[in-house]
A = this chain, B = another copy of it.
Amino acid sequence: MKNFASMQPSDIREMIRRNELVRPTAGMASGFAQANLAILKKEDAFDFLLFAQRNPKSCPILDVTEPGSPIPQMMAPNGDIRTDIPKYRIYKHGELTEEVTDITSYWEDDMVGFLIGCSFTFEHALLNNGISVRHIEEDCNVPMYMTNIPCAKAGKFHGMTVASMRPIPQKDVVRATQVTSRFPAVHGAPIHIGNPAALGIKDIARPDFGDAVTIKDGEVPVFWACGVTPQAVAMATKPALMITHAPGHMFITDVRDEKLGVM
């Protein structure tokens, strides 16, 4: 098997474009930021951009394509959001209708693509600081929960914040907060430390999305705003057409994780 971790982002995108790599992208092009994707028609794009601007912790925008252009100029000038993601989901009026590996045939002249920060970047930063990430250890998806924290509304878009949870040893909680604070472009600092009930979460062992993970004695559940929020909110408003990446199948950018650090 190729060592995808050491490959350049553009080489991996090229393989994905040729449908030679239909699989989750975690671990590929190590050190480069990966991004969530949401594509909407221009008529919804202003409200969605405004929603993201008002909810920067759950919806940190990395790039927005010009209406009709599939090229993310800031994050990957030779990329193409129609082909460079391994698997897409097509939603019509809020319903998932198809999963496809290429959306060229769905592309229209008034579409706008949003690349949104992904927690892979801050997870690398945690690992680099010697703080392990449980769902990576347990080789499953991060547990995610609907919270009682409302997002700031914008036009038709409104809803509750979705949070991801990582159990952190008590001694590392301060460091984990500091490390992730450096990366506001990928969700940034935690939104809550310690008490699931304070977020309206009834059973930490039953996440709303993703997989449950082990919380060991002496570990504290720490919650971060999650990139599933904008998709969940957009779904709830049932736009005529919305296209996203399939979970875990991200857009690999040309921008190094560390370049997204504020200091």
How many chain A residues have a CB neighbour from B under 8 Å? 23
Nearest Cβ distance between residue A125 and chain B, in whole angstroms? 14
- The CA of A182 and the CA of B66, in the complex, are separated in Å by 30
- In the complex, the answer to whether B184 meets A262 with C-beta atoms within 8 Å is yes
A184's nearest neighbour on chain B, judged by CB, is: B262
Q: At the interface, yes or no: A118 with Cβ under 8 Å from chain B?
A: no
Copies of this protein chain in the complex: 2
Complex: how many Å from CA A262 to CA B181? 7
Given contacts A46-B45, A49-B50, contact A66 B154 (CB under 8 A): yes
A74/B152 contact (C-beta < 8 A), A46-B49, A49-B53 known:
yes
Which of B49, B66, B155, B178 contacts A66 (CB under 8 A)? B155
* B residues near A50, Cβ cutoff 8 Å: 49, 64, 66
In the complex, are the beta carbons of A64 and B74 less than 8 A apart?
no
A-B contact pairs, 25 of them (CB 8 A): A46-B46, A49-B49, A49-B50, A49-B53, A50-B64, A50-B66, A53-B53, A53-B61, A53-B64, A54-B64, A54-B74, A66-B154, A66-B155, A67-B155, A73-B152, A74-B152, A178-B263, A181-B262, A182-B263, A184-B184, A184-B262, A188-B262, A262-B262, A262-B263, A263-B263
